[in-house]
Chains A and B, each alone.
Chain A
Amino acid sequence: MEKLLLLGAEAIAQGAIDGGMSGVYAYPGTPSTEITEYVQKNKTAIEKNIHRNWSANEKTAVEAALGMSYAGKRAMACMKHVGLNVAADAFINSAITGVNGGLVVAVADDPSMHSSQNEQDSRFYGKFSMIPMLEPSNQQEAYNMTYEGFELSEKLGVPVLIRFTTRLSHSRAGVQRKEIKNQNQLSYPKDPIQFVLLPFNARKRYNSLLGKQALMEEDAENSKHNIYYEGKDKSLGIIACGIAHNYLIENYPNRDCPYPILKIGQYPMPFSKIEKIVNECEEVLLLEDGYPFVEEQLRGFLNKSKKIKGRLDNTIPRAGELNPDHVAKALGKEVKAGLNIPSLVANRPPELCLGCAHRDVYNALNETMKEHGKQKVFSDIGCYTLGALPPWNAIHSCVDMGASITMAKGAADAGVHPSVAVIGDSTFTHSGMTALLDCVYENTSVTVIIADNATTAMTGGQASHATGRLEEICIGLGVKPEHVKVLTPLPKYHGEMVKILREELVYEGVSVIIPRRECIQTVTKSKKEKKVKTEEII
């Protein structure tokens, strides 16, 4: 089999395709998007008719993947870390139901928040749901772990979580493929009520999950992903999880680290290997790209055991992505940085593209809101969030997908009027529809602006479930048709937009305004694609 040059995310995709996956289910989210995009373009996946369309959100993705597993086939759900919050109900309960076909949930964390609202560590979810977790250190492991993850899931009868971070997801390296496995045949769970979580059965299932813990621990204990490297100098022992191991080795280019090292790539935490390094060494240094997950457990609440060094005692900075320089400092090595950044170098934050429709929406909204005082515009997550920055300073919240509408509702309930929400089309179908239903249910006075650029732009222009059905959805949810208004956000219609916004803002009830114009990035892309007619199939 050939060697491919793959991003970590792509290695996961290729591992899943080769590992006999029948379907991937996902909602885009940096840094996880490339997994599904890779499957969508992959020739084998297309030929084998592997399911690869986007889901409406992460919860629907995990549920659909669980349904495929129920039917005996191998499925994968992918998301960014905060997506797992959305999918948490399905995810936690899928550990209780267990699986039939192998189920892998691949979650990309984003330490340093390169493209996210927080840097939560998904390993807590893995522990919380009591399932095995895999954490690759490089692209090859990302491939192997996914490839083998389905089997592990089938062997233990539970979903398997693959946890990785931005740096691995978006870094390319050579990956050696394995032979392609066949997909599973359709089959039903042996126990017809396995998936029925009525209390009487849920208790049984939960006990069965508890009963499997010993097996999971044993599997992790003997896992080839948890490796103990002996070292002569026992003054320090180093535990390195996932990609942190690379940063450690970077500091020993001749692979001559004098200290014992425990590399962790599979959880639950391997008990006897951890016991060995703690007993054998005077101090233990924890290297983790994320929260101090292992560190906290080793330390314990009273921190009375051996000296544990890591993020909690500031040997490593408490927040942010790990890197080779943090590790060097933790090892007492000198970091010789080059020259300082000259003071004239200005920040260059991301911005709305020239010609982007969101610009016209904010120009019109700002003009209208001048009449209504300050801080009444709630917003959401997407390209339009950049409207929070100068020159617009137009929005006053960005919390979680869909929150704009519900926060506007709460504020309206508190007496804010007008109370405005600005949300993107994809975010609306992800989590805004139920929020709008809450407004309709109470006829709350809110103005909801759904900025429809016919794509999921922020993550690179994936298809949007909302395209072509927004008005129908809003009217179907109960918004009065005369208060669903579609506008064309272009400078030449500025006056008209302001006029309609002005009317709807004072309306006492639910109104929805849909400024609609395609994202200029996707317009340019589809023009280019038409021109060169490239076969993008790999």
Chain B
Amino acid sequence: MKSDIILSGVGGQGILSIAATIGMAALENKLYLKQAEVHGMSQRGGAVQSHLRISVNEIASDLIPLGKADLIISVEPMESLRYLPYLSKEGWLVTNTTPFVNIPDYPEMENVISEIEKLPHHIAINADEIAKRVKSPRSSNMVMLGAASPFLDIPYECLENGIKKIFGSKGEKIVNVNIEALKAGRKFAIEHTPVASKR
């Protein structure tokens, strides 16, 4: 088993929590892991990405080579497209559809969506809305992780355990809010994407 994942979004949107959760789950499964993250300048509202690699074998590079990613998980729709050169032909793109507009030349939303829909393997979901619906408005990142969970070769329960470990110090309430968001995202993906439900 080997999974190369690109996480993307805008600084401050919580992609590192997604990475940390998957990381914990990978550790629980005794898998090798490398996760390159972005710190510093671009965390101030700039484009951020993280390369996350999980494998049963030792991993060499901290960076995923071009065209080799199995999955892009994006908490922002335009940002999901920025990393397409990394996505393999068979790879999946799982993205939030709620834009984060902090630049004057943000493209028309329908054009962004139509670019996403051109891809053979994609799931586009309004994670912000789903997060609000399950009363976890600040957990759209975990909704996205839930939506991508069918594509991870990691048992779903391990992701919940990961959330418990990462948010445990912040109290039970925060843990539950994040788990609800994770569940809701997973449910949406399974209900709306036949392939996801088979996984």
Residues of chain B contacted by A532 (CB below 8 angstroms): 169-171, 174
Query: Quick check: which of A18-26, A320-328, A467-475, A503-511 contacts chain B, the rest being far away?
Result: A320-328
Q: Are B169 and A536 in contact (CB under 8 A)?
A: yes
Residues of chain A contacted by B108 (CB below 8 angstroms): 344
Q: How far is the CB of B169 from chain A (nearest CB, A)?
A: 4
Q: Are B32 and A174 in contact (CB under 8 A)?
A: yes
Q: How far is the CB of A343 from chain B (nearest CB, A)?
A: 9
Among B44, B105, B169, the residue within 8 A (CB) of A534 is B169
CA distance A478 to B11 in the complex (A): 42
Query: Quick check: which of A84-92, A118-126, A149-157, A332-340 contacts chain B, the rest being far away?
Result: A332-340
Decide yes or no whether B107 CB sits under 8 A from chain A: yes
CA distance A340 to B118 in the complex (A): 13
By the criterion of a CB under 8 Å from any partner CB, how many residues of chain A are at the interface?
53
0/1 string, A238-252, CB within 8 A of B gives 1: 000001001111100
Decide yes or no whether A351 CB sits under 8 A from chain B: yes
Q: Are A30 and B105 in contact (CB under 8 A)?
A: no
CA distance A460 to B84 in the complex (A): 30
Decide yes or no whether A415 CB sits under 8 A from chain B: no
Decide yes or no whether B40 CB sits under 8 A from chain A: yes
CA distance A243 to B63 in the complex (A): 11
Residues of chain B contacted by A339 (CB below 8 angstroms): 84-85, 87, 119
CA distance A348 to B100 in the complex (A): 11
Q: Are A114 and B44 in contact (CB under 8 A)?
A: no
Q: Are A346 and B46 in contact (CB under 8 A)?
A: no
0/1 string, A329-370, CB within 8 A of B gives 1: 000000111111110111111111100000000000000000
Task: Please classify the interface of chain B as helix (H, G, I), strand (E, B), loop, or mixed, using the class held by over half of its residues.
Answer: mixed
Among A114, A167, A338, the residue within 8 A (CB) of B62 is A167
Q: Are A338 and B11 in contact (CB under 8 A)?
A: no
Decide yes or no whether A17 CB sits under 8 A from chain B: no
Decide yes or no whether A500 CB sits under 8 A from chain B: no
Q: Which residue of A lies closest to B78 (CB)?
A: A345
Residues of chain B contacted by A323 (CB below 8 angstroms): 61, 63, 65
With contacts A335-B65, A338-B86 known, is A350 near B33, CB below 8 A? no
Residues of chain A contacted by B169 (CB below 8 angstroms): 532, 534-536
CA distance A31 to B40 in the complex (A): 7
Decide yes or no whether B56 CB sits under 8 A from chain A: no
With contacts A246-B60, A346-B106 known, is A5 near B78, CB below 8 A? no
Interface residues of A in 513-538 (CB under 8 A from B): 532, 534-536
Q: Are A172 and B78 in contact (CB under 8 A)?
A: no
Q: How far is the CB of A129 from chain B (nearest CB, A)?
A: 27
Residues of chain A contacted by B67 (CB below 8 angstroms): 335-338
CA distance A337 to B89 in the complex (A): 9
With contacts A174-B32, A345-B107 known, is A337 near B23, CB below 8 A? no
Q: Are B66 and A341 in contact (CB under 8 A)?
A: no
Q: Are A5 and B115 in contact (CB under 8 A)?
A: no
Decide yes or no whether B88 CB sits under 8 A from chain A: yes
Interchain Cβ contacts under 8 Å between A and B, 21 examples: A30-B40, A30-B41, A115-B42, A170-B38, A171-B36, A172-B35, A172-B37, A173-B32, A324-B63, A325-B66, A338-B88, A338-B89, A339-B119, A341-B81, A341-B85, A344-B111, A344-B112, A350-B42, A350-B45, A351-B102, A532-B171
In the A-B complex, list the 6 residue pairs whose CB atoms are closest, starting with the nearest.
A115-B40, A30-B40, A250-B61, A350-B46, A249-B60, A350-B44
* Interface residues of A, Cβ cutoff 8 Å to B: 5, 7, 30-31, 33-34, 114-115, 167-168, 170-174, 243, 246-250, 253, 323-325, 328, 335-342, 344-353, 383, 386, 458-460, 532, 534-536
17 other A-B residue contacts (CB within 8 Å) besides A250-B65, A344-B115, A350-B43: A5-B24, A7-B37, A31-B40, A115-B42, A174-B27, A248-B60, A324-B63, A324-B65, A325-B66, A335-B65, A337-B66, A338-B67, A338-B87, A348-B78, A383-B44, A386-B44, A458-B40
